[in-house]
């Protein structure tokens, strides 16, 4: 067998880092491109010149009275929606990647512990009670957090293996809240409440306003930042609980931290946008294909790719038809065939 010198290893490591840097730069550039293009798409046309004037006016003090319509479309309609898509796409994909690493299972998604169904139940209950948009978001967020808390408490009292009991508890709680949502739909007013519940559950960003963004941004930041800081420890979780413990990792504490962070992001996302599937399941697979299996790279790159993906899908939802398509439907149409392809090819990474 050929012998590799220390110099060979250094060159190989430098080559890997350079390849990672190039792919990271390309993905970031793609996100920036989608971000800019998003402001030009929609019913009201916004020219590149107007776009530049709008975003440079705080520094130049330029007069925008002659393009007031474009200012309104850009700052009060498209900007909140674009920022929300970035936040939610990053949150769901990062939560999915974290859960997949923690459970050592690539089929895991952010709603594995019932956060999405709990949030859906909370939103449906709020609509049934005729609450306003802020009330719907608040009750949805509380429902998502409450569902995961119940799943965690049930798993703690189980005699089964910790991971298995947590997954089974999540499935049970998710089924319970899903049944509750179905009951609410059954008794809801068929003229107003039932259509509102159905449309909300399909996911949309059409109602987002600038004042709604902090409601999502604060919990998402509170979950995303710790996961980025702990991403190297998630690598240790993928080796198994016993191996991680032998390396000095507090496995129970780390799992709890991942659950809390991922639940914060998922509940906040669903509370603002409704139920948007497939992002947290599919995006981490693509990241592994491009960047490998190191969670020090998977976590931040999942955030970037997830943000770009949801923003692109939301752009399609806005312009594909005269009436806006729900995001949950579009992400399923896009995500399901991609996931079938990954299953058929085995999700094997190709080195370039």
How many domains does the chain fold into?
Answer: 1
CATH of the domain at 250: 1.10.3470.10
> pLDDT for 110-148, tens place per residue?
888 999 999 999 999 999 999 998 899 999 999 999 999
Residue 219 lies in a domain: yes
Residue 60 lies in a domain: no
Residue 106 lies in a domain: yes
Position 347 scores a pLDDT of 54
Position 186 scores a pLDDT of 94
**CA gap 257, 225 in Å, rounded:** 12
Q: For residue 304, give every residue at least 6 positions away whose Cβ sits within 8 Å of its Cβ, in sequence order, or none.
A: 24, 27, 28, 31, 90
Tell me the pTM: 0.88
Greater pLDDT, 323 or 202: 202
Segments in 230-326 forming alpha helices (H): 231-237, 241-246, 251-273, 279-291, 295-319
> pLDDT for 230-241, tens place per residue?
988 888 888 777
Does 182 have pLDDT greater than 50? yes
Residue 279 lies in a domain: yes
Residue 63 lies in a domain: no
> pLDDT for 44-98, tens place per residue?
888 888 888 888 888 887 778 888 888 888 888 899 999 999 999 999 999 999 9
Residue 149 lies in a domain: yes
Residue 27 lies in a domain: no
Residue 6 lies in a domain: no
The domain of 170 spans: 83-345
């Amino acid at each position: 067998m050929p012998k590799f010198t220390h110099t060979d290893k250094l060159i190989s490591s430098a080559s890997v880092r350079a390849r990672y840097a190039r792919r990271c730069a390309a993905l970031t550039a793609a996100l920036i491109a989608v971000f800019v293009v998003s402001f030009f798409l929609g019913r009201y046309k916004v020219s590149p010149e107007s776009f530049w004037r709008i975003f440079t006016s705080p520094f130049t003090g330029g007069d925008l009275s002659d393009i007031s319509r474009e200012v309104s479309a850009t700052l009060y309609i498209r900007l909140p929606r674009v920022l929300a898509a970035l936040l939610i796409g990053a949150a769901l994909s990062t939560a999915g990647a974290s859960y997949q690493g923690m459970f050592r299972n690539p089929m895991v998604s952010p709603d594995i512990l019932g956060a999405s169904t709990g949030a859906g139940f909370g939103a449906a209950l709020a609509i049934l009670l005729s609450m306003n948009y802020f009330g719907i978001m608040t009750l949805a967020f509380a429902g998502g957090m409450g569902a995961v808390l119940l799943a965690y408490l049930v798993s703690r009292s189980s005699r089964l293996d910790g991971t298995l009991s947590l997954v089974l508890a999540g499935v049970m709680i998710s089924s319970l809240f899903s049944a509750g949502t179905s009951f609410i739909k059954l008794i809801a007013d068929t003229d107003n409440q039932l259509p509102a519940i159905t449309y909300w559950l399909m996911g949309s960003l059409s109602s987002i306003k600038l004042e709604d963004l902090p409601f999502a941004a604060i919990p998402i930041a509170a979950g995303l930042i710790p996961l980025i800081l702990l991403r190297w420890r998630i690598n240790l979780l993928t080796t198994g609980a016993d191996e991680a413990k032998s390396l000095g990792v507090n496995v129970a504490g780390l799992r709890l931290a991942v659950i809390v962070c991922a639940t914060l992001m998922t509940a906040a996302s669903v509370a603002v946008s409704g139920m948007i599937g497939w992002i947290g399941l599919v995006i981490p697979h693509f990241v592994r294909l491009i960047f490998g299996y190191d969670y020090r790279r998977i976590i931040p790159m999942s955030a970037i790719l997830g943000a770009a993906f949801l923003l692109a899908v939301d752009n399609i939802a806005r312009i594909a038809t005269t009436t806006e398509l729900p995001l949950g439907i579009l992400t399923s149409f896009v995500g399901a065939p991609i996931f079938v392809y990954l299953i058929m090819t085995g999700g094997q990474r190709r080195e370039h």
